[in-house]
Amino acid sequence: MYKAFYNLKRNPFEITPDPSFLFPTKRHNEALAALYYGVRRHKGFVVLTGEVGTGKTLLLRCLLELLKRNNDVEYAYIFNGKLTPVEFLQYVAGDLGLPAVGKNKSELLLQLARYVIARSQKQLTTVLVVDEAHHLSADILEEIRLLTNLETANQKLLQILLVGQPELDDKLDSIELRQLKQRIALRSHLAALDLSETKGYIERRIQLAGSPHATKLFPQETVVAVYRHCGGIPRLINTICENALIAAYSKQAAIVTPEIIDAIAADFRLGVQTRPLEATAAGETLSVQKAAETLLELYAHLHNERSRDEEVKPRLRVRVTEHEPYI
Ligand SMILES: Nc1ncnc2c1ncn2[C@@H]1O[C@H](COP(=O)(O)OP(=O)(O)OP(=O)(O)O)[C@@H](O)[C@H]1O
Ligand SMILES: [Mg+2]
C-alpha cells in the first residue's frame, strides 16, 4: 500500500529469505564461499552457524542457486531436524529421488551409499544440506558421521552441509560427538551486522525494491535508531523497517524518522531481553560458565570436608574451554 507513495516497485523488507536481496557483507561472502568451495572441492563436511535471523537460510538458498547452474550437482535439502534416524534417511533418499517407503535403516544406508558411489564414478557431486541442524538428535548426528565415511583415498563422496543456530556448535563440541567434530573440513559463523553494514543493508534493499532515494527515506539518524533497537540482526531490521514504512505512510511522511523507529521498536518490545524458556528452579538459566562455577564450588566444598577428615585427594577438575576459532 505504501509502495506507490515511496516509488517502490516491490516490498523492500520481506522477511522470506530471497536470494535476489542478498546484501553481501564480508562475513556473508566468506560463509557462502566456504559452503561453495566445500561442495565443489569435495571437502566433505562443512558447518555454518549463526544467531537467529542472521541470514543462514538465505545463504543456503543462494548456494543452491549457484549449484543449480552446474548440471553435475544433486542435493537433498532437509530443514526438519526433528526426525527419527529412519525418517531422516527416508527423507534424504526421497529427496534424491530414490525409493524410500518401507525401507529399514540398513537398506536405506546401502541404497544411499550405492547411489553416491555411482554418481562419484561419473564425476557427479551429491550434497546433503541440513538447515536447522541445531535440532538434530545425537542419533541422527551419528548417522551423519557414518555418512561422512563414504570416501575414497583423496576425496569425500557425499558433501554434507550442516547449518544451524549456535546450539549446533555446542552439540558438536560435546564429548560424544568429538569424532564428528574432527571431520569438519570448513567452519564459518554469521554474526549480526555492524552499524555501517546496517546502513548499507537498508539502502541496498530499498534500491533493489526500485527507489534511488534510500538515504532520503532512511536518513543516518534513522539508521542509527534501527541499529540501536535491532543490534544488526537482519530479520529484525526487516520487521522494524517494514512497519516503519507503514507507519510513515499512514502519516503521509516523506521520511522515516527516528521517532517512528522508536515507537515501532516499543510496539515489538525490541528492548526487552529475550529469555530462554528453560530456567532453573530459582528462575535463573544455568549457563556453561555458571554450571562450571557451581561444580567448582561443590568440589571445593567436598574437598574441604574431605581434607578435614583427611581422606582422599581432589580428583575433579572443571575447565571451560573457548570454542575453536572459526575458519
Ligand atoms: N546478507 C543479507 N542480505 C539480505 N538479506 C538478508 C541478509 N541476511 C539476512 N537477510 C534477511 O534476514 C531475514 C532472515 O534471514 P534467514 O531466514 O536466512 O535467517 P536465519 O539465520 O536462517 O534465521 P533462523 O536462525 O531463524 O533460521 C531474511 O529476510 C533474509 O532475507
Ligand atoms: Mg533459517
Whether the pLDDT of residue 204 is over 80: the answer is yes
Question: Which residues, other chains included, contact 3 with Cβ-Cβ below 8 Å and sequence gap of 6+?
Answer: 9, 10, 11
Ramachandran quadrant class, 150 (left: phi over 0; alpha: psi -120 to 50; beta: rest)? beta
Strand partners, 160: 45, 128
Query: What distance in Å separates the CA atoms of residue 168 and residue 157, rounded to the nearest whole number?
Result: 24
Question: Which residues, other chains included, contact 194 with Cβ-Cβ below 8 Å and sequence gap of 6+?
Answer: 232
Whether the pLDDT of residue 285 is over 80: the answer is no
| Percent of the chain residues past pLDDT 90, beyond the cut | 75
Whether the pLDDT of residue 316 is over 60: the answer is no
What residues flank ligand 1, with Cβ below 6 Å?
Answer: 15, 17-18, 21-23, 25, 28, 50, 52-58, 165, 234-235, 238
| Number of C-beta neighbours around residue 233 at 10 A | 22
Question: Given this model, what pLDDT does residue 153 score?
Answer: 78
Whether the pLDDT of residue 317 is over 60: the answer is no
Question: Given this model, what pLDDT does residue 209 score?
Answer: 96
Residues 153-191 have pLDDT tens digits of 778 999 999 999 999 999 999 998 999 999 999 999 999
Query: What distance in Å separates the CA atoms of residue 255 and residue 261, rounded to the nearest whole number?
Result: 11
Question: Given this model, what pLDDT does residue 297 score?
Answer: 53
Question: Which residues, other chains included, contact 215 with Cβ-Cβ below 8 Å and sequence gap of 6+?
Answer: 203
**Cell of residue 273, nine digits:** 531481553
Ligand nearest to the CA of 55: 1
Residue whose Cα lies nearest atom 4 of ligand 1: it is 22
Angle at the Cα of 189 from the Cα atoms of 79 and 207, rounded to 5 degrees: 85
Ramachandran quadrant class, 42 (left: phi over 0; alpha: psi -120 to 50; beta: rest)? left
Q: Could you identify the atom of ligand 1 that is nearest to the CA of residue 16?
A: 29
Whether the pLDDT of residue 251 is over 70: the answer is yes
Residues 217-236 have pLDDT tens digits of 999 999 999 999 999 999 99
Query: What distance in Å separates the CA atoms of residue 237 and residue 231, rounded to the nearest whole number?
Result: 9
Question: Given this model, what pLDDT does residue 104 score?
Answer: 95
Q: How far is the CA of 173 from the centre of ligand 2 (A)?
A: 21
The model's confidence at residue 42, banded by pLDDT at 50, 70 and 90, is very high
Question: Mean pLDDT across the stretch 46-50?
Answer: 98
Question: Given this model, what pLDDT does residue 155 score?
Answer: 85
Query: What distance in Å separates the CA atoms of residue 47 and residue 38, rounded to the nearest whole number?
Result: 10
Which whole-number Å values give the CA distances from 279 to 51, 121, 135, 137, in the listed order?
A: 20, 52, 19, 21
Ramachandran quadrant class, 252 (left: phi over 0; alpha: psi -120 to 50; beta: rest)? left
Q: Could you identify the atom of ligand 1 that is nearest to the CA of residue 190?
A: 21
- DSSP at 55: S
In the chain, the domains with their CATH numbers are: 26-190 (3.40.50.300), 195-267 (no CATH), 280-327 (no CATH)
